[in-house]
Structure 1
Amino acid sequence: MDLAPRLNLMNWLVGQGLTGLPENDLIRGFCERCRTAGLDVSRASVFIDTLHPIFEGRGFRWNDTQTNESDMFEYRSTSEGEAAQNWRRSIFYYMLESGVGELEVDFADRASLDFSLIDELAANGHRHLVAFVHRFGEAGTLGQMDSVYSYWVTRRPGGFGELGLSALRDLVPLLGLAIKSGAQVEIARTLGRVYLGRDASEQVLRGRISRGVTERIAAVLWFSDLRGSTAISESITPGEIIPFLNDYAQASIDAIHDAGGDVLKLIGDGVLAMFSGDDMSGARRAALQAEHQFRKNLITLNARRAKERLPITSAYLGLHVGEVYYGNIGSEDRLDFTVVGPAVNEVSRIASMCRSIDRDLLASAEFRSGLDATGRRYLVSTGRYALRGIGRAQDLYTLDPDIASSEPVTGSYERYLEN
């Protein structure tokens, strides 16, 4: 590749990196432009570690022919099992262990090599590979994200040649910088979703980070906690407590998210969430959908834990509706994006009443009254109660017991939730 097209491609990489072109489009555009400029890339793969509760990193592929491979992939931990074995056979593991940042492989000499993928690449007509590991400095490292890894393959009989290798040495670091920039944006989004919740994260990333900036909204509020969690925690080993809490948090959070709700806070074994929108009747029904799925999740979870001889439990849940302040609350250097207001205190107290009157679910009169006539029929009164710290007594409701005991009523209720 001559100097002029090389400079043009550098400028393109900088521009697309600044505009935030998705990484798979970036790789594809880069490879296609390389080929147009005379650099015969036939396959490329670029990957980078990340900060994510499930995945260790993300990678991107490009091929000069149609394949069944996806152009983007995510990978889990490479520290154990088959993934660890594959990683130790990779060219990048060898490079890290050897302390080299660039390595060429002529497939004609592959018999002496034990790298994964080499035989497969050669069988598909590729002739020559060059791999790069571009390391970050200490200030540029985030967790395990300390390098960009890439390999480049050609079908050209003579390989990339010195001119092609020179072009890749100039261009791949710029590509790596653009990939790293995209990865950092994705990390920010991931950390926001994981630690703030989905909607709160979007609010913060759109710039709503000023202290005291809140909005007053109407919301359906959910507060759940586990039945007998203190006694269970005292009866198991310290190493079992976190898996226990994680299992049951997953059951509730999955149900809330599937129904369109937002989890605002995890408080020990408690979950505070909300359902909001212009259609508050729909938000109420979404909360009931989440509650119904939550109970199903608990049945599946408890069956699995019982089989593993682990302690099982169920959950108490309170549902309420009210106006809350939603936004940034805290000090100048430690803010929380959450909801506050009397309704938040009330939903917590409603959930606490479940223990006293032995009900898994209690909903306020405000919650029930906003449902349509069909929905109101599925909630039956449990009486009127004074809630601790709340100035007025509340009428509380629970699901009609026939929903659990009668198949026709169960089917009718599930059809109502689906509509």
Structure 2
Amino acid sequence: MSVKSSSIAEIGQWVVARGLAGASEADLLDSFCARCREAGLRLSHGLVIIDTLHPTYEGRAFWWDLTQTNENRMIEYGPTNTGEAAEKWRRSSFYHLLQSGEPDMRIRIGQDLTADFLNLDRLRSEGHTDYIAFVHRFDRDGSIGEMDAVYSHWTTTHDDGFADDELEALRTLVPSLSLAAKCMSLVRVAGTLVEVYLGRDTGRRVLAGQISRGVAERIHAVLWYSDLRDFTAISETIPPEEIMPMLNAYAEAVISSIQSEGGEVLKLTGDGVLAIFNAEIGTQAGHAALRAERAMRLKVEALNQQRAADGRPVTEVYLGLHVGDVFYGNIGSGDRLDFTVIGPAVNEVCRIATMCRSAGRLMLASTDFIRAATRAERQRLVSVGRFALRGVERPRELFTLDRYHDGDPAGHAN
């Protein structure tokens, strides 16, 4: 069966259209391979790999196989520059192509028993007879971090391997497929970056085009501001290389707790965290903030136990909770903007958190926050007195959580 040249041209046009339209990379690969087989390419397996820009994952791999399974057709992989992962990478055909500068490499795996690249033995045992790998590199200006190429390999189980016209068809089509995969991945990278650095809701707003200076929305929100007790003093007593890991460990406990309850982290200021819970939905926002506080205390308690066992310094989280109207939007210069919240309520919640030290409490909440809590929660919030807050006109009555149960670290700052 020969490859239909007219079908190859149609597949190329289809790939371009899908890349412009945007879709899942796994679905793109699935449909691409199905169309190739209809055109006469006797594909049995395909794999596409592209690095990404993500704080946890180095890249993503997508595959298609003629034998349909229920396996996930996409995996996200971690760093490949250390340990066993680095060794596997150096044994791959892709690494060989990068080192040699060649655009592709064909191996008749049904006949060549000497090639020692990763996974060839597995492919041979599964009945694949022919293999071709590609690396489509990006120029420096077209790269983002480690995202500098698209890697792919293709196999057949036909006894005679790939015919010449099949190899030519793959050399014609895979560059377009790689470009489409890059387009889709760039959209994902943009989403990842704005979410990681701006927050989920803020990131969506920015990607939706809300980037004009001065454009802001007035919202009613539960405000969360927390920082670490005595972190500055602790950081002056420990080796510099331990400061960042310590800060990251406690930040993970705080931020993950906020996000798990639907809160939006807006700002990280050293050891401080500013977040909001949308108060338009009434007491649910206050309830969510208290649930986040509870989750955070449990995580910090577990973290402190581990750090103490390792002989490392420990701390606690001071937290202020408040409710008020704020302006949520873009502030800054024409070419350097920050998407955040401003208003007197933001200043007040920061002052409330600062007052935790003087009040000897780990958590303080305003009268306005009490009104945003459920009736049951209000019964657990007890007054600790009236305090003068710097920059706030009148003294404010502040509240803290009574202990959940004996031994729980929710209330007092020891």
In the aligned structure 2, how far is the partner of 1:80 from the partner of 1:360? 41
**Which residue in 2 is equivalent to 1:132?**
134
Shift of 1:161: 1.4
**Which residue in 1 is equivalent to 2:405?**
404
Alignment equivalent of 2:336, drawn from 311, 322, 334 = 334
The answer to whether the aligner puts 1:321 opposite 2:330 as a matched pair is: no
The answer to whether the aligner puts 1:360 opposite 2:386 as a matched pair is: no
The size of the alignment, in residue pairs, is: 407
1:177-213 deviations in Å (ceiling 9; x for gaps): 0000011111100100011111100000001000100
**Which residue in 1 is equivalent to 2:105?**
103
In the aligned structure 1, how far is the partner of 2:309 from the partner of 2:191? 37
In the aligned structure 2, how far is the partner of 1:231 from the partner of 1:111? 63
Shift of 1:396: 0.4
1:360-396 deviations in Å (ceiling 9; x for gaps): 0000000012222211101000011110111111110
**Which residue in 1 is equivalent to 2:158?**
156
In the aligned structure 1, how far is the partner of 2:393 from the partner of 2:264? 28
Contact 2:60 2:74 in 1 (8 A): yes
The answer to whether the aligner puts 1:27 opposite 2:29 as a matched pair is: yes
Shift of 1:308: 2.2
1:7-55 deviations in Å (ceiling 9; x for gaps): 1101110111111011110000000000111101111110111111010
**Which residue in 2 is equivalent to 1:414?**
none
1:96-141 deviations in Å (ceiling 9; x for gaps): 1122110001113442122111111111111111000000111101
Contact 2:279 2:286 in 1 (8 A): no
In the aligned structure 1, how far is the partner of 2:159 from the partner of 2:382? 78
**Which residue in 1 is equivalent to 2:394?**
392
In the aligned structure 2, how far is the partner of 1:221 from the partner of 1:231? 27
In the aligned structure 1, how far is the partner of 2:181 from the partner of 2:313? 45
In the aligned structure 2, how far is the partner of 1:351 from the partner of 1:280? 23
Identity of aligned residues (%): 52
Contact 2:327 2:341 in 1 (8 A): yes
Contact 2:111 2:129 in 1 (8 A): no
In the aligned structure 2, how far is the partner of 1:20 from the partner of 1:305? 46
Counterparts of 1:63-212 in structure 2, within 5 Å, are: 63-67=65-69, 69-212=71-214
1:244-265 deviations in Å (ceiling 9; x for gaps): 1111111100000101101000
In the aligned structure 2, how far is the partner of 1:406 from the partner of 1:377? 20
1:154-197 deviations in Å (ceiling 9; x for gaps): 11111111100100011000000000001111110010001111
Runs of 4+ in 1 over 3 A off after TM superposition: none
In the aligned structure 2, how far is the partner of 1:24 from the partner of 1:32? 12
Over 3 Å counting, the alpha-carbon distance change for 1:88 and 1:406 in structure 2 is closer
In the aligned structure 2, how far is the partner of 1:329 from the partner of 1:198? 18
**Which residue in 2 is equivalent to 1:234?**
236
In the aligned structure 2, how far is the partner of 1:86 from the partner of 1:305? 34
What secondary structure is seen at the aligned counterpart in 1 of 2:338? strand
TM-score, length basis structure 1: 0.95
The answer to whether the aligner puts 1:378 opposite 2:400 as a matched pair is: no
Over 3 Å counting, the alpha-carbon distance change for 1:40 and 1:60 in structure 2 is same
RMSD: 1.2
Counterparts of 1:179-328 in structure 2, within 5 Å, are: 179-276=181-278, 278-328=280-330
What secondary structure is seen at the aligned counterpart in 2 of 1:171? helix
Decide which structure has greater helix share.
Answer: 1
Shift of 1:68: 5.1
**Which residue in 1 is equivalent to 2:39?**
37
What secondary structure is seen at the aligned counterpart in 1 of 2:259? helix
TM-score, length basis structure 2: 0.96
In the aligned structure 2, how far is the partner of 1:277 from the partner of 1:97? 56
Contact 2:221 2:280 in 1 (8 A): no
Shift of 1:237: 1.2
